[in-house]
Structure 1
């Protein structure tokens, strides 16, 4: 996988933080877990249940040598979401996310969580969303 970075941009690879001083392309030639700086959520932005779930999974990805505490927190938070959620799309998404986290596919889980942000926002606003990319056709 080839990743292009701008000058000053950071990439988080297997728990390490790398910042480049000039535009560069990096080819990742083996299986690594990484996040680009633009995908990293700050703790202050984790202000809804799904954003908190994202932040927890992000911790698991960014610090792979110490996953246990974040994994325990994930289990609690995921179970709490399942207990209160009634929306079918959210329930299906949470099941898929749990499967991905169980298989340590954290990056894919983060992608799936981000896709549910608009659904969560609609639920919180009391509206509905149509044409979701995860709805059955």
Structure 2
């Protein structure tokens, strides 16, 4: 089944490891066969891997983008997922961790990536709540 990408002007994406950028007008790209495609908003740079959930997301992203060498990133994924699951007590988030792991084991890397994105969003919401709580506990002087 073809994959249809609607692209904004200047939008970048990775296609089988190549960075591609749309021109100055909206565009549509139709992929007729299986390919690894990742939009710019889903691409994480190595320097942005600065939290537990991001340390899960990054190796999953690398497995997706470089499926032929996925084994190189698997041990890092397992280590980081084990650490994360040891620290998280929320049953829904733990279920997302299990689902992410199952997708990785089945080599369904895009599905695993989307589940890992949920872990990053959960972590960011928790950190935002902590930051808000800290601001509320320190009144302005």
TM-score range with shorter-chain normalisation? 0.7 to 0.9
Aligned to 1:21: 23
Which of 106, 114, 119 is 2:117 aligned to?
114
Q: Secondary structure at the match of 2:67?
A: coil
- Equivalence map 1:1-137=2 (5 Å): 1-23=3-25, 24-124=27-127, 125=129
How many angstroms does 1:30 deviate by?
A: 1.6
CA RMSD of aligned residues (A): 2.2
How many angstroms does 1:122 deviate by?
A: 4.8
| TM-score normalised to structure 1 length | 0.77
| TM-score normalised to structure 2 length | 0.76
Looking at secondary structure, tell me which structure has more helix per residue. 2
Structure 2, unpaired ranges of 5+: 131-141
Q: Secondary structure at the match of 1:82?
A: helix
Corresponding pairs, count: 127
The structure with the larger Rg is 2
8 Å contact 1:15–1:61 — kept in the other structure? Answer: no
What is the rounded CA distance, in whole Å, between the counterparts of 1:11 and 1:122 in structure 2?
26
